[in-house]
Amino acid sequence: MNIVVCVKYVPDATADPRFESDNTVDRVGVDGLLSELDEYAVEQALQLKEGTEEEVTVTALTVGPEKAADAVRKALQMGADQGVHVQDDAIAGSDAIATSLVLAKAVEKIGSVDVVLCGMASTDGAMSVVPAMLAERLNLPQVTLGSRIERKENQLAVQRDGDTATEVIIGAMPLVASVTDQSGEARYPSFKGIMAAKKKPLETYSLGDLGVDAGEVGLSVAWSSVAETTARPPRTAGEIVKDEDGSGATALVGYLASKKFI
């Protein structure tokens, strides 16, 4: 069985993310890392591998700038077998539509893939659309946003906790799946894993290798454009009171009344 895990390199959320002058997210000037939400996908890929006698290859796939290889390396340290990094200057500024195109072509090039596993959202863009777009492009079933994932012979079943119901969705492989942060704690790389990762293959593809025309991706052909980005003005400091013998409640009630909430 072949599993491809899509891992994204994102700006560290605890550092201050910012925009470049062309309104794209600054992905070079700030520290980045493997999106935490994609660690859950790597974990589930490894568990699928560990849960069977079959030969399973887990390939970590990223699309991003040079430093994005770090995201793949982290996945290799966690236990993925090999890595693929699609890197091409023309990709900079791509939207989800173009990103899903490049990911889909890369999945096709990797070949005979049974499961494409994604995180629930990237921690920077947080659109949660790439897995659905990938399924659409690859014409595969999607079993997405699983809080639990289970293999049943040639099928995968996920539990999806929706707004009005918890559902079980099942699809036959090959398919696209995504998992949430409820799917189970992701493992830390062990020392052995970190050493082993250094010897694992990590291939770099250009757009040419994938047969994607540079004119199909990047900021200039994005199907939507950003006109302006404004930093939110800092909230003006609020009033803070210390509760002493019920004074806090009285003050809070006064505030609620002054704002007409009661």
Partner 1 sequence: MSEVLVLVDHVDGAVKKPTYELLAIAKRLGSPSAVFIGGADKAAGAAADLAKFGAEKVYAIDDAEVKGFLVAPKAEALQQVAQAASPAAILIVSTAEGKEIAGRLAIKLGSGLITDAVDVDADGTTTQSVFAGSYTVKAKVTTGTPIITVKPNSAAAEEGAGAGAVEQFAVTISDAAKAARIVASNPRAASGRPELSEAAIVVSGGRGTGGDFTAVEGLADALGAAVGASRAAVDSGWKPHNLQIGQTGKVVSPQLYVAAGISGAIQHRAGMQTSKTIIAVNKDEEAPIFELVDFGVVGDLHSVLPAVTAEVEKRK
Residues with Cβ within 8 Å of residue 221, at least 6 apart in sequence: 98, 215
53 binds, among partner 1, ligand AMP, ligand FAD, none (CB under 5 to 8 A by kind): none
Structural element, H or E, at residue 3? strand 2-6
The entry of ligand AMP, ligand FAD, partner 1, none near residue 180 (CB within 5 to 8 angstroms by kind) is: partner 1
Q: Does 118 contact ligand AMP by CB under 6 A? A: yes
Residues contacting ligand FAD: total by CB under 6 A:
3
Please spell the DSSP secondary structure of 77-139, one letter per residue: HHT-SEEEEE--GGGTT--HHHHHHHHHHHHHHH-S-SEEEEES--TTT----HHHHHHHHHT
Binders of partner 1 among residues 52 to 71 (CB under 8 A) are none
Q: Is 116 in the site for partner 1 (CB under 8 A)?
A: no
Q: Which structure tokens are listed for 202?
A: 């990590």
Exactly one of 2, 44, 59, 122 binds ligand AMP (CB under 6 A); that residue is: 122
**Distance (Å, whole) CA 225 – CA 35:** 24
Neighbour count for residue 18 (Cβ, 10 Å): 12
Asked if 199 is part of the footprint of partner 1 (rule: CB under 8 A), the reply reads: no
Considering only residues 163-222, where is the footprint of ligand AMP by CB under 6 A?
Answer: none
* Nearest approach, Cβ of residue 101 and partner 1 (Å): 9
Q: Which of residues 68-87 bind partner 1 (CB under 8 A)?
A: none
Comparing CB distances to partner 1, the nearer of 156 and 197 is: 156
Please select the residue that binds ligand FAD; options are 12, 20, 36, 124, rule is CB under 6 A: 36
255 Cβ contact list (under 8 Å, min separation 6): 239
Sequence-distant (6+) residues with CB within 8 A of 113 are 2, 3, 4, 107, 174
> How many positions of this chain bind ligand AMP (CB under 6 A)?
25
Q: What SS3 class is residue 38?
A: helix
Interaction between residue 202 and partner 1 (CB under 8 A): no
Q: Nearer Cβ to ligand AMP, position 47 or 251?
A: 47
Closest CB 237 distance from ligand AMP, rounded Å: 33
**Cα–Cα distance between 147 and 125 in angstroms, integer?**
21
Interface residues with ligand FAD (CB under 6 A) are 36-37, 181
Interface residues with ligand AMP (CB under 6 A) are 6-8, 35, 37-38, 41, 61-64, 96, 99, 103, 118-119, 121-122, 125-131
